[in-house]
Amino acid sequence: MAIYVTKSFMPPVEEYNNHVAKIFENGILTNQGPNVQELQNKLSGYLGVDNFHYLSNGTIALQLALSAMDINDGEIITTPFSYVATTSSIMWQRCKPVFVDIERNNFTIDSDKIEAAITPNTRAIMAVHVFGYACDVDKIQKIADKHNLKVIYDGAHAFGSKYNDKSLLAYGDVSTCSFHATKLFHTIEGGACIVKDKNVSDKLEMQKRFGHNGDDHQMLGINAKQSEFHAAMGLANYPYIEKIIADRKRVSDLYDTLLTGVVSRPKTQKNLKYNYAYYPVVFKNEQELLNVFAALNKKEIYPRRYFYPSLNKLPYVQAQKCPVSEDISSRVACLPLYVGLENKTIEQIAKIIRENVK
């Protein structure tokens, strides 16, 4: 059986069916139904945040974050080391991404380089908690306050991570999350916005459902609502969050034991309670990465290049140099990591890596 970089956690089918049965009983399929409302309340409580919005996906969450704060033009300072949705959401809102290079320890945006990128056209900073590691939230907020900028965190990887005993998703003017099937906690498809300001939250609430209440049309909106069936999967998965994190830690700890000194890894962050969202490794060069991939693929094991290419190299963005991101993206990969991954498979993966690095 092939081993992929991730495998979606599946709750017991009867538990999912119990939530689905309620949909058939009440006939409510969408439009902020009871499953969506229950899941929003549970996740808000779990994260310890207010103004939590459960949405259709993580990309629309980023777009709504910008729109709800009236950011529809100008420049957005962001990272080149992320999934393409971070950049595409900025451009979709008719804004210009201005890339600031990353730091080498955890691949998050280099906060020491942000101020130099600020211009009179800068509207916001959109940083990413890459692989569940924390951006320098304190320094970024100080810079934003000094220059009157909004802060948006793409927290697609951050669910379950805590910084200074507070959810990583609690920082910034708006934090977004993804509940895509590949994520630690998923609702098949899904996303969220966590909003600091109640007025912005109320606007986002209106915008996510076409901009109207009944026949009262108040503003331009879009359809970012989520269905009751997706929420049912979230409710079925919710009781297993801690079990999921614990088993992912088991896998990561075994990788650590077998691969320490063989490949490079992100550095442990002080005051961060990590969520074990991914297991990124950095090889000495791109050729070594390709050699390892070829050897693993022969055994039907498929790691993945997170993230390649560096987003400043996309063909539809203005050319900008980010040498650290370009270097890291050429030789970083994520190893298989999911609940139930067997120790013997982890040992096999580590053995193949050891045999193919110098």
pTM > 0.75: yes
User: For residue 332, is it within any domain?
Assistant: yes
Summarised one tens digit per residue, pLDDT across range 316-350 is: 999 999 999 999 999 999 999 999 999 999 999 99
User: For residue 7, is it within any domain?
Assistant: no
Domain termination site, one of 187, 206, 238: 238
pLDDT at 214: 86
User: For residue 27, is it within any domain?
Assistant: yes
User: For residue 8, is it within any domain?
Assistant: no
One domain, residues 21 and 74: yes
- Is residue 34 within a helix (H) or strand (E), and if so which, with residue range? helix 34-47
Dihedral, 201, 62, 78, 134 alpha carbons, nearest 10: 70
One domain, residues 190 and 274: no
User: For residue 5, is it within any domain?
Assistant: no
Q: What is the rounded average pLDDT of the residues 172-198?
A: 98
Quote the CA–CA distance of 109 and 104 in Å, as a whole number: 9
Q: What is the rounded average pLDDT of the residues 50-56?
A: 98
Q: What is the CATH number of the domain that holds 268?
A: 3.90.1150.10
User: For residue 349, is it within any domain?
Assistant: yes
Write phi, then psi, for 334 (nearest 5 degrees): -110, 130
Domain termination site, one of 187, 213, 238: 238
Note down the domain range covering 350: 240-355
Long-range contact set of residues 203-210: C-beta below 8 Å, sequence gap at least 24: 203/68, 204/53, 204/64, 204/65, 204/67, 204/68, 205/53, 207/64, 207/67, 207/68, 208/53, 208/55, 208/64, 209/31, 209/32
Q: Is the pLDDT reported for residue 213 higher than 90? A: no
One domain, residues 112 and 125: yes
One domain, residues 223 and 186: yes
Domain termination site, one of 222, 238, 254: 238
Q: What is the CATH number of the domain that holds 27?
A: 3.40.640.10
Q: Is the pLDDT reported for residue 358 higher than 90? A: no
Q: Is the pLDDT reported for residue 300 higher than 90? A: yes
User: For residue 4, is it within any domain?
Assistant: no
